């Protein structure tokens, strides 16, 4: 039986959230399923409003000129939507991994992109530092956590232009001054809920400045004016995201989960560093608290290790093909006990080898 889910996303969700979601599929409103009621009915409009306000509340952005939207098309659609809405002449991008690179490629369709820094030369095992952001560009784009490579930005630049951040794989996981960002987006399927919706938090005053015509579905202003209901929203994904945000709020919010996330990260990285059979992939100072990437020093041990992992009920630790080795994703809903279980297997391998 699989008990410990380290998948990179979709991934583990809190059990209480799953139970409520399952119940709502059967009976959400007087015998009707969440999946069959109108999205314009009061019970669902309340869900959407609650989800939007919980997102702003958790991020400490209430009353600061931001709007929260739950859109479709994944974080990948945000790569082009950001450019369509904000790119007039030129934008600066920090290239820290596969997803950042994809964001650059999409934006390049529309206009000129300048890479302010890149760690491509070292297969993205670090976060570039000391780069400059030109003050006459339209915006600066960065990726807070690089899911595939296991690196995470610990500091953000003091950007002279609007700062846009892809937080798909570490949203709601650590305390930051979120007001330093003008636009944040995150696919739900890691720290927020099931795949199918993407959270966008945007400061309204950065919008409406480009000269191009923007198709309605791609226009943040249209979605804001319709209360994130311009078209039929992905009701299930929004509902489960709302439940997960409520779960986080009840736990004590981002501050409380950050402490747990730090404990989990300390535990796995100390094993990686102390156990001579393993080697960390990302440089130490840029290691992600969400995705720990590591390899076996001796590939001959792979079969034994994989069998032990399976036996312990551990799921989803295979590394991405562009890095190889292993990746333990430790999102908010993964418990410290699950990390302990993995670390035990790693140290057992050392005693066997």
Q: Which residues are catalytic?
A: 99, 166, 190
Site string for ligand PLP, 79-98 (x = CB under 6 A): --------------------
Task: Give me the sheet containing 112-118, strands edge to edge.
Answer: 66-71, 198-203, 183-187, 163-166, 140-143, 90-95, 112-118
Token pair belonging to 352: 């066997």
Q: Is 319 in the site for ligand PLP (CB under 6 A)?
A: no
Q: Which CB sits closer to ligand PLP, 9 or 234?
A: 9
Q: Which is nearer to ligand PLP, 166 or 182 (CB)?
A: 166
The reply to whether 227 sits near ligand PLP by the rule CB under 6 A is: no
**Is residue 10 a contact point for ligand PLP (CB under 6 A)?**
no
Nearest Cα neighbor of 36 from 51, 25, 45 is: 25
Cα 238 from Cα 51, distance rounded (Å):
7
Answer yes or no: is 174 a known binding residue: no
Does the footprint of ligand PLP cover residue 347 (CB under 6 A)? no
- Site stretch for ligand PLP (CB under 6 A), options 27-35, 122-130, 163-171, 300-308: 163-171
Which residue is it, tokens 């636009």? 183
Q: Should residue 7 be labelled a site residue for ligand PLP when binding is judged by CB under 6 A?
A: no
Q: Does 9 bind ligand PLP (CB under 6 A)?
A: yes
Task: Report the residue number whose CB is nearest to ligand PLP.
Answer: 74
Q: In the bound complex, what is the minimum distance in angstroms from residue 333's beta carbon to ligand PLP?
A: 16
20 is in an annotated binding site: no
Options 111-119, 165-173, 253-261, 315-323: segment touching ligand PLP (CB under 6 A): 165-173
- From 254, 207, 214, select the one nearest 61 (Cα to Cα): 254
Distance CA 13, CA 185 (A): 20
193 forms part of the interface with ligand PLP (CB under 6 A): no
Is there a binding annotation on residue 76?
A: yes
For residue 22, give the H/E element and its range: helix 15-26
User: Is residue 212 a contact partner of residue 220, using CB atoms and an 8 Å limit?
Assistant: no
Measured from the CB atom, the residue of 241 and 296 that comes closer to ligand PLP is 241
Residue 338 within binding range of ligand PLP, rule CB under 6 A: no
Residue 75 labeled ligand binder: yes
Q: Which residues contact 163 (CB under 8 A, 6 or more apart)?
A: 139, 140, 142, 156, 157, 180, 181, 182, 183
Is residue 286 a contact point for ligand PLP (CB under 6 A)?
Answer: no
**DSSP symbol at 103:** H
Q: What does the alpha-carbon distance between residue 143 and residue 253 come to, in Å, rounded to a whole number?
A: 22
Tokens at 167, concatenated: 């937080």
- At residue 139, the 3 state secondary structure works out as coil
Does 168 bind ligand PLP (CB under 6 A)? Our answer is yes
Residue 7 CB neighbour total at 10 angstroms = 19
In whole angstroms, the minimum distance from the beta carbon of 291 to ligand PLP comes to 9
Residue 106 near residue 79, CB atoms below 8 Å: yes
When asked if residue 278 is in the footprint of ligand PLP (CB under 6 A), the reply is: no
Q: How do strand 291-296 and strand 326-329 relate by DSSP bridges?
A: antiparallel
Among 106, 138, 166, 260, binds ligand PLP (CB under 6 A): 166
Q: Tell me which of 5, 7, 169, 244 binds ligand PLP, using CB under 6 A.
A: 169
20 sits near ligand PLP (criterion: CB under 6 A): no
147 near ligand PLP (CB under 6 A): yes
Among 227, 231, 167, 183, which Cα is nearest to 87's?
183
Residues near ligand PLP, by CB under 6 A: 9, 74-76, 99, 143, 147, 166, 168-169, 187
Going by the annotation, the residues of the binding site are 40, 75-76, 99, 147, 166, 189, 231-232
């Amino acid at each position: 039986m699989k008990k410990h889910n380290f998948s990179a996303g979709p991934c583990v969700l809190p059990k209480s959230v799953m139970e409520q979601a399952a119940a709502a599929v059967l009976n959400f409103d007087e015998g009707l399923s969440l999946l069959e009621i109108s999205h314009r009915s009061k019970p669902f409009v309340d869900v959407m409003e609650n989800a939007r306000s919980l997102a702003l509340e958790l991020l400490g952005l209430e009353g600061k000129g931001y709007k929260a939207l739950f859109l479709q098309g994944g974080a990948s659609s945000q790569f082009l939507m950001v450019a369509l809405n904000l790119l007039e002449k030129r934008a600066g991008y920090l290239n820290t991994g596969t997803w950042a690179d994809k964001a650059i490629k999409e934006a390049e369709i529309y206009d000129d992109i300048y890479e302010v820094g890149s760690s491509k030369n070292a297969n993205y095992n670090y976060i570039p530092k000391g780069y400059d952001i030109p003050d006459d560009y339209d915006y600066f784009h960065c990726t807070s956590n690089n899911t595939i490579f296991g690196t995470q930005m610990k500091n953000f630049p003091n950007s002279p232009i609007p700062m846009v951040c892809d937080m798909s794989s570490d949203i709601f996981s650590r305390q930051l001054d979120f007001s330093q960002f003008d636009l944040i987006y995150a696919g739900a399927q890691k720290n927020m809920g099931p795949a199918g919706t993407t959270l966008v938090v945007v400061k309204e005053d950065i919008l409406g400045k480009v000269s191009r015509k923007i198709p309605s579905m791609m226009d943040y202003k249209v979605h804001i004016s319709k209360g994130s209901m311009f078209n039929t929203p992905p009701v299930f994904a929004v509902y489960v995201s709302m439940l997960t945000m409520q779960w986080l709020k009840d736990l004590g919010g981002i501050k409380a989960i950050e402490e747990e996330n730090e404990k989990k990260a300390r535990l796995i990285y100390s094993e990686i560093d102390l156990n001579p059979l393993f080697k960390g992939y990302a440089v130490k100072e840029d290691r992600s608290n969400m995705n720990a990437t590591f390899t076996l020093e001796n590939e001959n041990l792979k079969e034994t290790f994989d069998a032990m992992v399976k036996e312990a009920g551990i799921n989803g630790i295979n590394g991405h093909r562009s890095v190889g080795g292993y990746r333990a994703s430790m999102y908010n809903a993964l418990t410290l006990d699950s990390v302990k279980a993995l670390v035990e297997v790693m140290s057992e391998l050392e005693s066997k080898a």
